[in-house]
Structure 1
Amino acid sequence: MTGKWLYWFDELGIGDIELVGKKCANLGEMTKAKVSVPPGFALSLEAYQRFMNETGLTEEVTEFLKRYGDEGIKGYGQFMEASRFVRELIETKEMPADMAALIKENYRKLCTQCGLEDVAVAVRSSGPVSMPGTFETYLNIIGEDDVVKHIIKVWASTFNVQAIGHRVNQHHPLLIDGIGVAILKMVKAKTAGVAFTMHPTTMDDTKIVIEGTWGLGESVVSGAISPDRIVVDKNTGEIDMHINPKLKQVVYQEKGTQMVDVPLELQNVPCLTKEEVGRLAELAKSIEKYYGVAQDIEWVFDDDMDPAQNLFLVQTRNISVVKEKKTDAEKIVELMLLRVFPRRSTPKTFGEKTP
C-alpha cells in the first residue's frame, strides 16, 4: 500500500485505472486534457481496503460467508440474504477518524474552490473492471458528514444483489479488492444525456448519436425515459433530430434528487438547440481524437452558467467495435429484447462493457 489514498482529479490520468477505477481515471485524464469537467477528488481502492480492514469488516464478512459452506452462495434468495446482511453491516460502521478527517478537509477545499459554504456533490462509484451499472451513485449530497456517509454507502454497494450475483456467476471471490469513489461538484443540469461518437446500432463512424432530456442525465443513462435522439454527420454537420415526448425528468430537491413531471410546454420541445448540438458534436469529435477511439460520453448543460461556458462532461468511455455488423435478424431480436428489458443504447450492445 502506498499510504496515499485521496487524489484530486488533476493528479490522475488514464494510467491510474488500477489505482482509482475507470471513472476517476477518466475524469483525471479529461481534466488534464483541459475538458470542462466538474471539479472534485477521488478515493482509491486502497481507501476501501483500509475501511474494510480497520473496521473489522473483512473478518466479519468472511465469518458470515462461512455459513454457506464449501459450495458458497447459490440462487437469488441467498444473494438477497447475503446482500441485506452485509450492506447493513457495512453501513453501520463509522469511518476511521483519520480517514473521515481527510475526506472532510478536502470537501471543505472543494467548497472554497467553488465559492460555496456547502457545495452539492455527486458521490459516484468507480470500478477498476467493467461491471456496467452494478455499483451505486448518489447525487446532490450536501455537507461533509453526508459526504462521508454516502461514500460508505457506495462501498456497501459492492455487496448489492447484482454485484454478488455477478461475482458468483463469474466464479470470482465475494470479497473484492475494492472500488474507487469520485466526489465531484454537481452541475445544475438544464439538460443532460449521452453522446456516442459512432452510431451504436449501425456502427457508422461518420455519425455522432446524441440522446438527451430535461434535467439530470440519470433518467437517460438508466433507460427510465425515452430521450430526444439526434444524429449529427461528422463531415457535413447535418443534424437529424427525432424529438420524443419527455414526460418526466430527474431534478434536485433540497437533498438528493426526485423524478417529477416535465412542464407541459416543454414536453415536446427539443431539449437542445441546434447551436448546443453543434457545440456538443465538436467537443465529442475532439474527445474521440484525443483518445484515438470512439467514445461513449455523458454530458450536461449547466442552467446557472454563461451559455458560452455551460457544457460539462462527467464521463467518457472507450467503445470497442466488433468486426462484423449485426444482421437484420440480430437487430430485430435485440429490439424485441429491449421492449422486454428496456435500457438505453450502450456500447455493450456491440462489444464494450462500461465501468
Structure 2
Amino acid sequence: MLSESSAKLIEADDASSVQVSLVGGKGAELAHLRAAGLRVPPWFCLSSEACREFLSVHGWSTNALVQASEEARQTALVELAKASLSGTWVEPFRERVRAMLELSGAVVVRSSANVEDSAQAAFAGQFKTELGLTDVEAVCAAVIGCWLSLFADHAMRYAETMKRVNDLAMAVVVQQFVPADVAGVLFTMNPTTHDRDQAVVEAAWGLGEGLVSGLAVPDRFVVARDRRIVATEIGAKSRGLYWNPVQSKVEERANPRYFCRQAALSEVQVDTLVEMGYACEQRVGCPQDIEWAIRQDRIYVLQARPITA
C-alpha cells in the first residue's frame, strides 16, 4: 500500500505520472513529453488527492463548492486562501520543493486540472500559473492558489459550457524554472488554416509569458511537413519579460532596437523545434500546442496540450 505522501507526491518517472485523474492533463502531457525523449525541465506533481484533502479539512468538497451559490463560493474561497497546508504529506512536499530550489534557484507552479488540456476542450488560461518562485512558503501559497483557481467564476463558466462542471479535480505541477533567452510556442498543425501538413513556430526574446500575454509581437515561421520554412514574418518584439536574478523576479524590459529587426531563432533552431514537435505528436497521437524555451542554446519543452478545433 502506498504511504500518504507517496499517494500525494508523484515524481516524473512514477508509473502514475500519466494518470490524468491523479496528475491532471498538464502533468500527464509532461510525462508523455519526457517519454518521447524531449528535454523537459525537472518536475513533480502534487496529486488531486491533496486538493481533495485540503478542501475536506476545511469543511468543503469539490462538489459542494461547485453547487454553492456564487456568493457562498466566493466567501469560501476568500477563507480558504488564508488557510495553510496540513497533513503528513506536507513536510515531504516541502523537502522536495527545497531540494528543487537548491538545484535551480526558482520554480514554476502550474495548475493541472483533470479537465485541462484535453483533446475535447483546452482550458488554457482558465486556471493559474506562478513563475519564478524562490522560497518554500511562496510555493505553498501558489499551490493553494492553483487549487482555488478551479472554482474561479470564469473557470466555472467555461466548465459549464464544456459540460465538465461535475467532473473537476485539480493537481499541481512544480517545475524547475527556465530563465529563457528566447521562448515561444509551436503548433504541429497550422492553427489558422488547420493544415496538418504545416507546423507554425512563434518566438520572442525573453520568457514565453511575454508572447502569451500579448506584450511581445513574435516572429512567425510556417514550416512544411518536409521541414522547409515556407513563410517567415519578423515581429516587432520591442518589449519582453525577463528574469532578474539579482532581485529574483520577472520584469518587463525594452529590447535593443537590433533585437526587434533580428529573428529570434535560427533556421536550425526552427527545424529542431519542429522535429521535437512531431516526436511529441507521434507519442500522444494528435496535433500539439507546445510551449518551449531556449536557455544558453539548449531547447526545453515546458508544457504541451492537444490542439482543439
Partner of 1:47: 50
Q: In the alignment, what sits opposite 1:330?
A: none
Question: What is the CA deviation profile of residues 100-144 of structure 1, one whole-angstrom value per residue up to 9, with x for unaligned ones?
Answer: 3121111133245x3x5xx20000001111423111100000122
Number of the residue aligned with 2:275 = 282
Q: Could you say which structure has the greater relative contact order, defined with CA pairs below 8 angstroms and 6 or more residues apart?
A: 2
Question: Contact 1:86 / 1:159 at 8 angstroms: preserved in 2?
Answer: no
Contact in 2 for aligned 1:45/1:177 (Cα 8 Å): no
Tell me the equivalent position of 1:235. Answer: 226
Residue 95 of structure 2 is matched in structure 1 by 105
* CA distance, structure 2, for counterparts of residue 32 and residue 211 of structure 1: 25
Within a 5 Å distance, the mapping from 1:187-202 to structure 2 comes to: 187-202=178-193
The normalised TM-score by structure 1 is 0.75
AA partner of residue 114 (structure 2): P
Distance 1:24 1:64, change over 3 A: closer
Unmatched segments (≥5 aa) in structure 2:
117-122
Distance 1:313 1:31 in 2: 9
Secondary structure class of the residue paired with 2:88: helix
TM-score by length of 2: 0.86
Partner of 1:315: 303
Matched, 1:295 2:281: no
> Which residue matches 2:137?
145
Out of 164, 187, 193, the residue aligned to residue 156 of structure 2 is 164
Query: Cα gap change, 1:32/1:219 in structure 2, threshold over 3 Å: closer, same or farther?
Result: same
**How far did 1:287 drift?**
1.9
CA RMSD, aligned part only? 2.7
Q: Please tell me whether residue 25 in structure 1 is matched to residue 17 in structure 2.
A: no
* Cα deviation code 1:48-96 (max 9, x no counterpart): 001111233449x959976x4xxxx4xxxx6xx854x333212100110
Ranges in structure 1 where 5+ consecutive residues have no aligned partner: 320-346
Decide whether aligned partners of structure 1 residues 128 and 256 sit closer, same or farther in structure 2, where only a CA change above 3 A counts.
Answer: farther
Kept in 2: contact 1:22–1:129 (CA 8 A): yes
Are residues 1:257 and 2:250 paired? Answer: yes
Cα 1:223–1:63 shift into 2, 3 Å: closer
CA contact (8 A) 1:13 1:32 kept: no
Structure showing greater radius of gyration is 1
Residues 192-221 of structure 1 show CA distances to partners (whole Å, capped at 9, x for unaligned) of 111111111222222110011111111323
1:324 aligns to what? Answer: none
Deviation at 1:290, TM superposition (A): 2.5
1:88 aligns with 2:70: no
Q: Deviations over 1:174-203 (max 9, x none)?
A: 8x7431100000011011111111111222
**Alignment counterpart, residue 36 of structure 1, candidates 39, 50, 54:** 39
Q: Which amino acid is the alignment partner of residue 158 of structure 1?
A: L
Query: For 1:129, which of 83, 99, 115 is the aligned residue?
Result: 115
Question: Is the 8 Å Cα contact of residues 128 and 179 (structure 1) preserved in structure 2?
Answer: yes
CA contact (8 A) 1:12 1:29 kept: no
Q: How many residues align?
A: 298
Whether the 8 Å contact between 1:49 and 1:177 is mirrored in structure 2 is: no
Q: Which has the higher strand share?
A: 2
Residue 81 of structure 2 aligns with an amino acid whose one-letter code is: E
Q: Aligned partners of 1:121 and 1:182: how far apart in 2?
A: 10
Quick one: which amino acid aligns to residue 313 of structure 1?
V
